[in-house]
Chain A
Amino acid sequence: NAGVMQNPRHLVRRRGQEARLRCSPMKGHSHVYWYRQLPEEGLKFMVYLQKENIIDESGMPKERFSAEFPKEGPSILRIQQVVRGDSAAYFCASSPPVIETNYGYTFGSGTRLTVV
């Protein structure tokens, strides 16, 4: 039973390019969360999605960032026209609708985005 799969592990983009980060939740998990960890800072919530629905995007920057979790396939976090300040580790987590144990909330290994 594979855990939460994120790819790529490392992504380098030039300023102005687009970054696409993928997250495949654990089998049986229908809820996906994206978090960002800026250098020397703590983790911050970005967006909470269920299949085909955005539940809470209160942590998403107003411009250039978008997220989706389609009926089929992984969740995608998309950053358009990246800037150096977008360089960070982006973590995805997944859970079932009801979280009963700590194993019910599982993190991926993260994508380290570097903007040059």
Chain B
Amino acid sequence: KNEVEQSPQNLTAQEGEFITINCSYSVGISALHWLQQHPGGGIVSLFMLSSGKKKHGRLIATINIQEKHSSLHITASHPRDSAVYICAVRSWAGGTSYGKLTFGQGTILTVHP
């Protein structure tokens, strides 16, 4: 079993729909990242969370440390949101937050006009 599991693996939506991508992890973490990758493109860090909730534009990310679960929400989805969304966690090492990331397998989001 992977340390970081995402669901769903593939997600298709119509423009305007509310989208949720889920991430569960099995290890103790210092922080969780949500990343975005367009086909053939680079990786953009959307959020870094260690507790609670963050919002940026139409994107909202939440984390529940006790349940080891995070969600990424996209409100009023748009075709330009089509991309791979990746959950990644950072663990602790020797009492300090460790920079190395462990990734989920990614969720391929396609938003149709």
Same complex origin of A and B: yes
Whether A45 contacts B99 in the complex (CB less than 8 A), given A103-B45, A109-B42, comes out as no
**Would you list which residues of chain A between 1 and 41 have a CB under 8 Å from chain B?**
31, 33, 35
Bound state CA distance, A81 and B43, in angstroms? Answer: 28
A110:B99 contact, CB within 8 angstroms: no
B46:A48 contact, CB within 8 angstroms: no
Residue A75 CB within 8 A of the other chain: no
Number of residues from A at the complex interface, CB < 8 A: 25
Bound state CA distance, A112 and B97, in angstroms? Answer: 30
- The smallest C-beta distance from A86 to any residue of chain B, in angstroms, reads 19
Bound state CA distance, A101 and B33, in angstroms? Answer: 10
Bound state CA distance, A102 and B106, in angstroms? Answer: 18
A110:B100 contact, CB within 8 angstroms: no
B48:A102 contact, CB within 8 angstroms: yes
Whether A99 contacts B48 in the complex (CB less than 8 A), given A107-B43, A109-B41, comes out as yes
Bound state CA distance, A106 and B44, in angstroms? Answer: 7
Residue B25 CB within 8 A of the other chain: no
A33 contact from B31, B44, B99, Cβ within 8 A: B99
A105:B33 contact, CB within 8 angstroms: yes
B100:A102 contact, CB within 8 angstroms: no
- The smallest C-beta distance from B98 to any residue of chain A, in angstroms, reads 8
**Which residues of A are in contact with B by a Cβ distance under 8 Å?**
31, 33, 35, 42-45, 48, 56, 91, 93, 95, 98-99, 101-110, 112
